[in-house]
A and B are shown apart, each in its own frame.
Chain A
């Protein structure tokens, strides 16, 4: 399929905020695996897993996202797996090796959704007190640089297994990152070899000026909260301007909109479950497929669907929305080989020393 006409589709496997509350006991791996398998059967590009260092606001259980992602990664073959990480509350060194490990588990289907940890309710869990909101955004940006530098601290071919000289590694192909910034000092190199994608895609939600700066400086893919396609077009323009101002190297940011959705063959039943949030959609799968054309025309690369009810709306996406998009020639019809980066149209970067 021509990538230029293909819309990318992601799904938040935890559903929409304020949607169905999570169960008090974490769902068994099998339940999550069924959801992931449904998304994979529907040929969606990637799934995201929410996380925070606190229980969900309405109660219920919250598994740690990278661990859940790893289990789902072992049970799927194709879909991208993107857990949420919080570098202000977790060590960038650990996050770097954890996401790299997820990339090995999935043979190149891992990413991470970086959040800035602005919720002060989580502060007591960090073992230290992060700074102001502005400081946290700056620290998160710096942490993403460190995580990326650690992924690049091994060249792809650092393991040489030179039998004649008895050397397992070529030490010239592994370098310390020697990062000294305002918030972090990390020497490196990583203890985990360079992951299969080299750089697993980094996602960031853009909600305001601060998170826009974070996305432009650190992310491969931005998730927008947009009320409608016009709003999305305006926000995308702000992002492009910020990219230009920052002199961002590499490919431009991919831009997705976050759309909470309630889907039903009967539009009135869907409306009764209408989720909250900008861009929220309630209606038939066919109507959503038609609406997505307007979002795509606004200059978006894709959308992340946040189901009001994962168990009802995810199958409606995979069995209703996706076939309708395929009929319009706007979505892939089969699994395409390759890594998550490749599917998103991102080239695989070479390891850059001192990145």
Chain B
């Protein structure tokens, strides 16, 4: 593992995610396909040019619906995440590749083979972003059928990861047998241990169960806490819990998801942020999204009017949002923009680089999982304009270490196969 020289600045970890959501500005002339392979190739190569650590793709197992109707507002239509990553392994050389896959609607033998194949094909660049699938309706597409209760989903994830880890470690020589409440598996794996021993495990999910799972198994926590103060509290708490389990806290990296909008001056950046926000939250998007949160049909309303009181109980997320709208005098559209959007880093390239560096230096994060608002060119500007500032500050590599695995690039403690934690 490359050891930073003494006095080296604390390195910033960077990942790029390919957005599929309502927040993609799909009517921009630069906006391309969200499904053609050329789009994924462009995005991953841009991130590799920017010396990012890894590229991540989220997953859904069902198209979004609302009130029994397909949601037609957002950028929908995704690839099978490990399959597009295996294709990207063939057209990249250094960047990590992290598909998102549900532990609820996959089986460990098959999933472990897909990730292990990706790891071998990419010479040690595979990860797995573990989700337990929050959509209670996804079960309609799978043999498992009825959805698991929240607590059961993490119980299954726990057994699942132990089984997958044992398969990776056992290779083609050691038969595996797992009899649990949720996992019943018997068989010999079809691949030897991969180049990085165990692929990098990313955990996304902020619940108490999710955090408990993360401190036991994950190498990276994909958190929601992109504001510095919140981020510091969260990271400090996660590290303390890891330490309490006897784990080196530096073996668990915290990477919040974050958006960015750049400009030539601070004023220009703020103006662009405003412009992007208005294009992300169009009137129809504002009425639909707030309507979904309210559990009400707001489609006839004027988005520039104040929101009606939500029907939910006091203390619900909708009630808290409503209180905010009243206190700040926000319209429905403004409320949607303020509550739902995250332009975490808005500023000039130099300012954005300085803030990322400062956040990492002061323990608000180990790095960020960035999402652009354009497919597939959302990272071009970041790579061309922010990355050089980070490199100048000495907090981002100017070249990859030849032959390094994702685990090594992330500076993670080496995990031998078979060691669950």
Let me know if A60 and B172 touch, CB within 8 A.
Answer: yes
Whole-angstrom CA separation of A253 from B142 in the bound complex: 30
The tally of residues in B whose CB lies under 8 Å from a CB in A reads 66
Q: How far is the CB of B119 from chain A (nearest CB, A)?
A: 10
The stretch from B73-81, B319-327, B351-359 touching chain A is B73-81
Let me know if B87 and A192 touch, CB within 8 A.
Answer: no
Let me know if A124 and B80 touch, CB within 8 A.
Answer: no
Let me know if A75 and B90 touch, CB within 8 A.
Answer: yes
Minimal Cβ-Cβ distance residue in B for A71? B90
Let me know if B117 and A74 touch, CB within 8 A.
Answer: no
Name the contact of B80 in the complex, choosing from A60, A74, A100, A174 (C-beta under 8 A). A100
Let me know if B107 and A98 touch, CB within 8 A.
Answer: no
The tally of residues in A whose CB lies under 8 Å from a CB in B reads 67
Query: Do A104 and B121 form a contact, CB below 8 Å, given A55-B188, A89-B110, A127-B107?
Result: no
Let me know if A101 and B63 touch, CB within 8 A.
Answer: no
In the bound complex, residues from chain A placing their C-beta under 8 Å from that of B73 are 166-168
Query: Do A54 and B188 form a contact, CB below 8 Å, given A63-B121, A67-B117, A170-B72?
Result: yes
Query: Do A104 and B76 form a contact, CB below 8 Å, given A127-B183, A191-B61?
Result: no
B151-194 CB mask vs A (1 if < 8 Å, else 0) is 00000000000000000000010000100000111111111100
Let me know if B117 and A168 touch, CB within 8 A.
Answer: no
In the bound complex, residues from chain A placing their C-beta under 8 Å from that of B26 are 161, 168
Name the contact of A94 in the complex, choosing from B69, B80, B109, B121 (C-beta under 8 A). B80
Q: Does A107 contact B (CB under 8 A)?
A: yes
Within 8 A of A (CB), among B105-158: 105-110, 113-114, 116-118, 120-123, 140-143, 145
B192-222 CB mask vs A (1 if < 8 Å, else 0) is 1000000000000000000000000000000
Let me know if A189 and B63 touch, CB within 8 A.
Answer: yes
Within 8 A of B (CB), among A149-172: 154, 159, 161, 163, 165-171
Whole-angstrom CA separation of A63 from B63 in the bound complex: 30
Within 8 A of B (CB), among A88-102: 89-91, 93-94, 97-98, 100-102
Query: Do A122 and B77 form a contact, CB below 8 Å, given A67-B86, A67-B118?
Result: no
Let me know if B184 and A166 touch, CB within 8 A.
Answer: no
Whole-angstrom CA separation of A167 from B122 in the bound complex: 38
Query: Do A107 and B37 form a contact, CB below 8 Å, given A26-B120, A29-B121?
Result: yes
Let me know if B110 and A125 touch, CB within 8 A.
Answer: yes
Name the contact of A166 in the complex, choosing from B75, B78, B82, B282 (C-beta under 8 A). B282
Let me know if B70 and A90 touch, CB within 8 A.
Answer: no
Let me know if B87 and A91 touch, CB within 8 A.
Answer: no
Whole-angstrom CA separation of A73 from B41 in the bound complex: 13
Query: Do A191 and B87 form a contact, CB below 8 Å, given A54-B188, A64-B117, A104-B37?
Result: no
B87-110 CB mask vs A (1 if < 8 Å, else 0) is 111110000000000000111111
In the bound complex, residues from chain B placing their C-beta under 8 Å from that of A70 are 83-84, 86-87, 90
Let me know if B87 and A105 touch, CB within 8 A.
Answer: yes
In the bound complex, residues from chain B placing their C-beta under 8 Å from that of A168 are 26, 72-76
Interface core residue of A25, A90, A104, A167 (most chain B CB under 10 Å): A104
In the bound complex, residues from chain A placing their C-beta under 8 Å from that of B190 are 52-56, 61-64
22 contacts between A and B (CB under 8 A): A25-B192, A26-B191, A53-B110, A54-B188, A55-B190, A56-B190, A61-B172, A61-B190, A64-B110, A66-B86, A68-B86, A72-B90, A90-B110, A98-B82, A101-B83, A104-B37, A105-B37, A105-B83, A105-B84, A127-B108, A174-B70, A191-B77
Chain A to chain B: the 7 pairs with minimum beta-carbon distance, closest first: A124-B186, A125-B109, A127-B107, A187-B140, A62-B190, A67-B117, A70-B86
Apart from A53-B190, A168-B76, 20 more pairs, CB < 8 Å: A26-B191, A53-B109, A59-B172, A61-B172, A63-B121, A64-B117, A67-B118, A67-B121, A74-B41, A97-B78, A104-B79, A105-B87, A124-B177, A125-B110, A163-B27, A166-B282, A167-B73, A185-B145, A186-B141, A188-B141
